[in-house]
């Protein structure tokens, strides 16, 4: 399925979904039904957060491998999707548990994505809250995430959920 076809399918479900019984729900990731959606969104997710990012077949193969590995290890990885209707998802959150000497057990939001048509409707907050439940179930003491400073909507969401800046990542272009 092409990226355009996938977005059209999702957009039609979002716009055409007037039935009150079809409220989107958050459920666990299913490799067989959800993998193509998540792989399709990688380009939008990474190009919007990393200037100059170029998607290539190697990157997608590696992401596919990581998703397959994550599904095999549910204690360390929790991937949850926002299902708009049966078989159609509109976003996801990928959570990972780390256990380190420095920080102890903590959670990391590895990726979070929502299709543009669903943004600003509270679904990102619901995905984040489900991720935090996953982390609490695994006794994480804190949650870390990276966000692009110019992604004002995401920064605002995270601050409203209680996240605080604890480190600065700095960069200098040499070319």
Query: What domains can you pick out in the chain, each with its CATH number?
Result: 27-160 (3.40.630.30)
Write out pLDDT tens, residues 24-59.
999 999 999 999 999 999 999 998 888 889 999 999
Quickly count: other Cβ atoms within 10 Å of residue 55's Cβ: 15
- Is residue 94 within 8 A of residue 107, CB to CB? The reply is no
pTM: 0.86
Q: What is the mean pLDDT of each run of 10 residues along the chain (175 residues)?
A: 56 51 89 96 91 92 96 96 94 97 94 96 97 97 93 95 92 88
Alpha helices in 3-151, H assignment, sequence order: 3-16, 31-49, 57-72, 123-137
What single-letter DSSP state applies at residue 122? Answer: T
Residues sharing a CB contact under 8 Å with residue 116, sequence separation 6 or more, in sequence order: none
Give phi and psi for 120, each to the nearest 5. Answer: 80, 15
What single-letter DSSP state applies at residue 36? Answer: H
3-state secondary structure of 44: helix
Residues sharing a CB contact under 8 Å with residue 111, sequence separation 6 or more, in sequence order: 45, 92, 93, 94
- Is residue 164 within 8 A of residue 127, CB to CB? The reply is no
- Is residue 104 within 8 A of residue 76, CB to CB? The reply is no
Average pLDDT, the chain: 89
3-state secondary structure of 28: strand
């Amino acid at each position: 399925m092409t990226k355009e076809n996938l977005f059209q399918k999702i957009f039609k479900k979002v716009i055409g979904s007037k039935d009150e019984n079809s409220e989107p729900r958050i459920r666990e990731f299913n490799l067989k039904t959800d993998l193509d959606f998540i792989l399709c969104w990688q380009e939008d997710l990474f190009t919007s957060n990393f200037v100059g990012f170029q998607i290539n077949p190697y990157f997608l193969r590696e992401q596919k491998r990581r998703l397959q590995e994550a599904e095999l290890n549910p204690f360390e990885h929790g991937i949850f999707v926002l299902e708009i209707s049966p078989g159609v998802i509109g976003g996801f959150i990928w959570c990972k548990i780390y256990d380190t000497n420095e920080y102890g057990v903590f959670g990391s939001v590895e990726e979070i994505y929502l299709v543009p048509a669903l943004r600003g409707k509270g679904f990102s907050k619901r995905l984040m809250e489900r991720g935090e439940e996953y982390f609490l179930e695994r006794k994480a003491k804190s949650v870390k995430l990276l966000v692009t400073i110019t992604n004002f909507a995401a920064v605002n969401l995270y601050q409203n959920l209680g996240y605080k800046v604890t480190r600065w990542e700095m960069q200098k272009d040499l070319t």
